[in-house]
Structure 1
Amino acid sequence: MPTKPVTTAGRVDRKEKAGKAQGTTQTRATKQTKQTKQTKQTKRAVQPDAKPRANQSNERETPPRPKAAKRASRPDGAATRQHLLDIAGQIFAARGFADATSKEICERAGTPMASVNYHFGSREALYEAALVEAHRQVVSLDELTALTEGAGDPRDKLRAVISRFVGLSTSTSAPWGFMLMLREMLSPSPAIPALIEKAVRPKAAVLLGLMGKVLQLNPQEPTVQRAVMFTVLPCIALMIAPRQAQAALLPAVAKDKNALVEDFVRFVMAGLDAVAAAHRARK
Structure 2
Amino acid sequence: MPTKPARTIATRTKRTKEAKEPDAPRVLKEPRAPKQSRPVKRTSRPDGAATRQHLLDTAGQVFAARGFADATSKEICERAGTPMASVNYHFGSREALYEAALVEAHRQVVSLDELTALTEGPGEPREKLRAVISRFVGLSTSTGAPWGFMLMLREVLSPSPAIPALIEKAVRPKAAVLLGLIGEVLQLNPQEPLVQRALMFTVLPCIALMIAPKQMQAALLPAVAKDRTALAEDFIRFMMAGLDAIAAAHRVRK
Partner of 2:135: 164
What residue number does 1:106 align with?
Answer: 77
1:125 lines up with 2:100 in the alignment: no
User: Secondary structure of the residue that 1:253 maps to in structure 2?
Assistant: coil
For the pair 1:83 / 2:29, whether they are aligned, the reply is no
Alignment partner of 1:245 is 2:229: no
- In the TM superposition, 1:54-203 aligns within 5 A as 76-203=47-174
The yes-or-no answer on 1:266 pairing with 2:216 is no
In structure 2, C-alpha distance between the alignment counterparts of 1:263 and 1:80, rounded to whole Å: 44
The ranges of structure 1 where at least 4 consecutive aligned residues each deviate by more than 2 angstroms after the TM superposition are none
Give deviations 1:113-144, integer Å, cap 9, x for gaps. 10000100000000000000000000000000
Q: TM-score, normalised by structure 1?
A: 0.73
Gaps of 5+ in 1: 1-73
Measure how far apart 1:150 and its partner are. Answer: 3.3
Determine which structure has the larger helix proportion and give its number: 1
In structure 1, how many angstroms separate the alpha carbons of the residues matched to 2:122 and 2:130?
15
CA separation in 2, counterparts of 1:142 and 1:194? 19
Give distance in 2, aligned partners of 1:152 and 1:260. Answer: 23
Distance 1:97 1:81 in 2: 19
CA distance in 2, matches of 1:271, 1:232: 13
> Residue type of the partner of 1:147?
L
In structure 1, give the amino acid aligned to 2:90. Answer: H
Q: Secondary structure at the match of 1:254?
A: coil
Q: Give the 3-state SS of the residue equivalent to 1:97 in structure 2.
A: coil
Query: Alpha-carbon deviation of 1:151?
Result: 3.1
Q: Distance in 1 between matches of 2:54 and 2:244?
A: 45
Give, in angstroms, the shift of residue 76 of structure 1.
1.1
Unaligned runs of 5+ in 2: 1-44
CA offset digits 1:55-113 (Å, max 9, x no partner) = xxxxxxxxxxxxxxxxxxx6611111000000100000110001001000000000011
Distance in 1, matches of 2:74 and 2:128, equals: 45
Identity %: 90
| Alignment pair present for 1:234 and 2:215 | no
Q: State the match for 1:8 in structure 2.
A: none
